[in-house]
Amino acid sequence: MNEETYIGWSSVPRGMKVRLADFHTGLAKNLKRDKKGKKAIKQWAMESLNENREALSTAHDLFWTDKRYSLLIILQGMDTAGKDGAIKHVMSGLNPQGCRVESFGVPTRNELNYPFLWRFWRSLPRKGEIGIFNRSYYEDVLVPKIHPEILDTQRLPPGYGSKSFWDARFEDIISFEKQLVNNGVIILKFFLHISFEEQRNRLISRLKTESKQWKFSSSDLSERDHWKQYQEVYEEIFSRTSTDYAPWYIIPADYKWVARTMIADLIVLSIRQLDLRYPEITEIQKVEIEAALEKLQNTEKNPANK
Ligand code: ADP
């Protein structure tokens, strides 16, 4: 059995008209019915998750040493899609010195003083770092398309909310990403794709489990009422902003272990593709290393014992 074919990720080809219903949220249909198969896949995914964590750590070490690139991971998804858990998982394989997570909520009064991309510019990972955006500038299309009244409070020039306004926003996003890529930022965009039913289960679990109740917000339910609209705007986002240099990956997320394995896999893959190497040691350095080893191993005495 080739496990990967059952949980494989899909990147969105540039220009593809996306219908989210065509992307599964769990496992391939035939496997869902086959309980034994599902168990084997889960076991494989759990093992692969551990291996990935090590691979991630090695890849990140090289990335951090090289310092020519940075990696920007964008995480989007409906409420309860598992963004926080995925971040925790990915982070557990990284060197804390070389990564940062930025979470973006409703823009503050101060943030609204600037063009919408400003807060993302200033939160970019530095060279050598892996940066995770927990929500991103895609919310600046997503939320106000569903709740256009939000734009009334954002002190925007006339014409906001029109077709040309949205076209300009998409254009800004595409050219922002292009600019980043031109300057050594690698961009991975992940959409954690859960089903309507799975969101219901997770919300119920959130309401019933004491340690999760704090996460519940009544807006989770009101936004759920807009599920269809959210899916449609996401489809528009993927269709318009998946590019060769910054593709969207639609990650089936009904099973957390599937989503986390895939995300870690894709990060490792994208770093490995850079074919980075530790800096070459020059002849002079080699001599210095030999001399230092010789000194430490044979000649040094603890001055306190003299
Ligand atoms: P999360 O749901 O990611 O755990 P929060 O509970 O802090 O985090 O929710 C952040 C909220 O901010 C979300 O409802 C999100 O849609 C909203 N948000 C983020 N960016 C924007 C934006 N640009 N415009 C309007 N709302 C936004």
pLDDT at 177: 98
Q: How far is the CA of 232 from the centre of ligand 1 (A)?
A: 18
pLDDT at 44: 82
Which residue, by CA, sits nearest to atom 14 of ligand 1?
105
pLDDT at 93: 83
pLDDT at 42: 83
- Tens digits of per-residue pLDDT, 84-143? 999 998 888 899 999 999 999 999 999 999 999 999 999 999 999 999 999 999 999 999
Q: Which of 1-5, 159-163, 213-217 holds the top average pLDDT?
A: 159-163
Tell me the pLDDT band of 2, cut-offs 50, 70 and 90: very low
CATH-assigned architecture of domain 10-305: 3-Layer(aba) Sandwich (3.40)
Distance CA 86, CA 94 (A): 13
pLDDT at 36: 64
Which residue, by CA, sits nearest to atom 13 of ligand 1?
105
Please determine, for residue 200, whether its predicted confidence score (pLDDT) is greater than 70: yes
Please determine, for residue 82, whether its predicted confidence score (pLDDT) is greater than 60: yes
Which atom of ligand 1 lies closest to the CA of 219?
14
Q: What is the mean pLDDT of residues 282-292?
A: 96
Pairwise pLDDT comparison (41 vs 292), residue with the higher score: 292
Please determine, for residue 205, whether its predicted confidence score (pLDDT) is greater than 90: yes
Which residue, by CA, sits nearest to atom 5 of ligand 1?
105
pLDDT at 1: 36
pLDDT at 8: 61
Q: What is the mean pLDDT of residues 59-65?
A: 95
Which atom of ligand 1 lies closest to the CA of 140?
23
